[in-house]
Amino acid sequence: MHEGLAPAGHTGAHPRLRVHRAFRSRHLPDARDVTVYLPPCYAQRPERTFPVLYLHDGQNLFDG
What is d(CA 5, CA 33) in angstroms, rounded to the nearest whole number?
12
Per residue of the chain (64 residues), what is the pLDDT tens digit? Answer: 445 555 555 554 678 888 889 999 999 899 988 888 899 999 899 899 999 888 776 666 666 6
pTM of this prediction? 0.61
What pLDDT does 23 receive?
93
Distance CA 30, CA 50 (A): 28
Domain segments of the chain: what residues? Answer: 1-64
pLDDT at residue 17, as a whole number: 85
| DSSP secondary structure code for residue 38 in this structure | P
Q: Using an 8 Å Cβ cutoff, are 58 and 6 in contact?
A: no
